[in-house]
Structure 1
Amino acid sequence: MQVKINGIETRYVLSNEGGGPWLTFVHQLGGDLSVWDQLAGYFRDEYTVLRYDLRGHGKTAVSSDPFSIADLSRDLAELLDALGAPTTHLVGMSMGGMIAQQFALDHPSRVDTLTVADTTAGTPPEGRAIWDQRAAAARNEGMAPLVPATLSRWLTPDFQAAHPEAVEQIRDVLTHTLPEGYAMACEALRDFDLRGKLGTIRCPTLAVGGRHDTGTLPAATQAIADAIQGAQFELLDAAHLAPIEQSHRFAALLETFLGKPV
């Protein structure tokens, strides 16, 4: 389904067979809502599960102006308003995890629980150049040249060999991401930094890292848990898309954390 959010036509999928509490999943850079298909299936009988495409990703329109992670947090707030969701359990992976952290700071009363995976609380000065490089590559050469290296960071060789159909779907979404949408998101990630603010987050928080994640080292995700009082950190045997590569283990962790049976 489509709804206009902050002037941008936005695609979302709502699965509310259970009619339970809201559970919102936010995808990674170069992804779309389909990356959550399997996990949404686990939870839809007990939760009202929301997935959506970020600006310039999937079937959501490209922004006409540059944007920040704070703008993406506002998009989520307006989407929840449009759908009548007062609060939600929030799950974000990679860039989605950054948006989730920002949203928890911007709208603390609307977050029941916070789960972030394979993400960081800020881009250090020495890491900014790589986002400029990726943005320029997308604009100048398109997405195809970025795909092989990205998939090698996202998924371990063992997973790629064992699950070719899942890998092909992720590859297809990445390849067809609009270059300008990808580039603008890279620039938002370049400027993102909440490292001095995480201590004010008070909602129950779960942080999950991938043992083989070379793009966002597990220590960066663990640092989020360390900064939030009472937060839990778990390490999965996976690369950057740990909730996808270890979907059964992640679902079990999330089920326990949310405190309701799936």
Structure 2
Amino acid sequence: MSVSETRFVDIDGLSFHCRVDGAKGAPWLVFSNSLMTDLSMWNDQVAAFAGRFRILRYDQRGHGRTGIPASDCTMEQLAEDLIRLMDAFDIGHAQLIGISMGAATCLGAALAYPGRVAGLVMADGQAATPPGGAQAWDDRIAIARTEGMAGLAGPTLSRWFLPAHLEANGPGIAHVHAMITGTPLEGFLRAVRALQAFDLRAGLPALACPALMLAGAADGALPKTLTELAGTVPNGRFVEIPDAGHLPNIEQPAAFNAALAAFLERDDA
């Protein structure tokens, strides 16, 4: 029987907004959201997979309905949050799916807690802050401080989506725009620090679980980056999503879900 539940979980005094969907007793999936989004970014994936899996989604620190931390975030902290939420829901092991910041969060959790992770999906994310990345985030922080999150919405949508899809302005674009402008400014400022100076590459050769690297074909250098990353880990594979940018799960959900299904339902899962 499929059951849905919304719950708030306390981690060191910070309240995390969580949502569980799917069949009781089914294998667990845990989804981790990107910067400037919330757990609703995974709606299309929950609709596609809740019949076969039990799904935990949550809002990362400072995002959605989760509390705003008192200090800047680190990637290690974000990974620890994910594992502690698994503990709160009695999830012994799960397949982890993350996008952008969420991809790095899931990678960090898989490296630090190999016995808890049955599979890893990294979509449009990286294992380390790229060269020039810290300055790029400083530029976006400056916009947010002077213009608020609304000032970041337009430039962010232009980076994340193909021009034709932006021009069509479908429901997915409106949803992402609402998530960006709805992100608390202080939550963004705290969380973005985790992306400015992280490096998980040293642990990649020891990654214990199968890994799928996904990227929108139009997401800048990330298809090349994730192709190389898939070749670095022991059991990695790469899939490119055509006609998509930084959020292929929203821009091309059918293609994204097909690639995800092939991975989740592999023989060793």
Whether these two folds match at TM > 0.5 is yes
Match of 2:14 in 1: 8
TM-score w.r.t. the length of structure 2 is 0.92
State the Cα distance separating 1:105 from its structure 2 match.
0.5
Q: Does 2:126 match 1:120?
A: yes
Q: Give 3-state SS (helix, strand or coil) of 1:196's partner.
A: helix
What pairs with 1:1-262 in structure 2 (closer than 5 Å)? 1-17=7-23, 19-162=25-168, 164-214=170-220, 217-237=222-242, 238-259=244-265
State the Cα distance separating 1:79 from its structure 2 match.
0.7
Please list the CA deviations of residues 82-102 of structure 1 after superposition, one character each: whole Å capped at 9, or x if unmatched: 111111110000000000110
Task: Tell me, yes or no, if the aligned pair for 1:222 and 1:233 is still in contact at 8 Å.
Answer: yes
Match of 2:3 in 1: none
State the Cα distance separating 1:199 from its structure 2 match.
1.0
Task: Tell me, yes or no, if the aligned pair for 1:18 and 1:44 is still in contact at 8 Å.
Answer: no
Q: C-alpha root-mean-square deviation of aligned residues, in Å?
A: 1.6
Paired letter, 1:220: T
Task: Tell me, yes or no, if the aligned pair for 1:138 and 1:180 is still in contact at 8 Å.
Answer: no
Please list the CA deviations of residues 1-46 of structure 1 after superposition, one character each: whole Å capped at 9, or x if unmatched: 2111232111011002353100011111100000101111111011
Paired letter, 1:7: G
State the Cα distance separating 1:55 from its structure 2 match.
0.5
> How many Å separate the matches in 1 of 2:165 and 2:265?
29
Task: Tell me, yes or no, if the aligned pair for 1:6 and 1:78 is still in contact at 8 Å.
Answer: no
Q: Give 3-state SS (helix, strand or coil) of 2:202's partner.
A: coil
Structure 1 gap segments, 5+ residues each: none
Task: Tell me, yes or no, if the aligned pair for 1:147 and 1:175 is still in contact at 8 Å.
Answer: yes
Structure 2 gap segments, 5+ residues each: 1-6
Please list the CA deviations of residues 117-140 of structure 1 after superposition, one character each: whole Å capped at 9, or x if unmatched: 101111134321111222233233
Identity of aligned residues (%): 37
Paired letter, 1:223: E
